[in-house]
Amino acid sequence: MLLCREVLLEEPYKYKHGSRDRGQTWERIAQSLNDVDTLNFCVDQRAVRDRFIKIERAFQRNLAKKGRAEMNLNPTELDLLIEDAIEKSKAAQDELARGEETIALNGETEAETHRSVEKRPVEWLVEARKRENMEVARKRQKKNEDEQNLLMYLKEKNEIDLTLRMEEHEIRKRELDFKEREIDQQWELRRRDLELKEKEYESREKREQQTLELLQQHMRLQQQQNQLLLDFVLKLMENNA
């Protein structure tokens, strides 16, 4: 879509095929695409020219296959841009053809004009001035249209750039949120692990304490039994004596 907008803005088709002006126009289109910050273009004039021709031919094949009525039911923005470029290209080619015919006719009529200038100097000057004024008005109108198209293109380009920046910001924000949740989950797992280890330590310490108490109780019982046995032996010895 950016390529088609650049083509509509620069209008390379208004120059002859193989002309220097046409080549410079494609070069400007390639440079404009390479200057886009949000997309990484690396193209030259031949690449953009061949790419546009390929897109244009694909549109023509699709149009021949589906028909105008079906294409107009649900046209995409790219379809509209290509169709506009094709119509302007045909109009420019017709204008170039008419210009060449006019040059040829002017060449033929120039001699006749020179022959009749002595007879009709005032009429010739009026017609020449009229054609000059019409040409100036046409160029002025063309310039105004180009300026309006440029402003419209710049506005759309700024909107696209803003949309891309907002999407990029949203993606970065989601990445940060994801990382933050991941860190929180890791900390939560560590906290639970520490709690489990602490409970396990407390439980083990409690079991060891209970074991120690049982051992001490057993030793006391053993001492009591030994003391009873000793007392019994001493008493028995006293009785025998």
Could you report the per-residue pLDDT of 101-130, keeping only the tens digit for each?
Answer: 666 566 555 555 555 544 445 555 556 666
Q: In this predicted structure, what is the pLDDT of residue 124? A: 57
Q: In this predicted structure, what is the pLDDT of residue 129? A: 66
Q: In this predicted structure, what is the pLDDT of residue 119? A: 46
Averaged pLDDT score across all residues of the chain: 81
Burial 94-109, CB ≥16 within 10 A → b, else e: eeeeeeeeeeeeeeee
Q: In this predicted structure, what is the pLDDT of residue 51? A: 92
Stretch 159-169: mean pLDDT: 85
pLDDT at residue 145 tops 70: yes
Domain-wise residue ranges, the chain? 2-112+140-182
Q: What percent of the chain has pLDDT over 90?
A: 7
Stretch 81-110: mean pLDDT: 75
Please count the CA atoms within 13 angstroms of the CA of 23 that sit on its side-chain side.
3
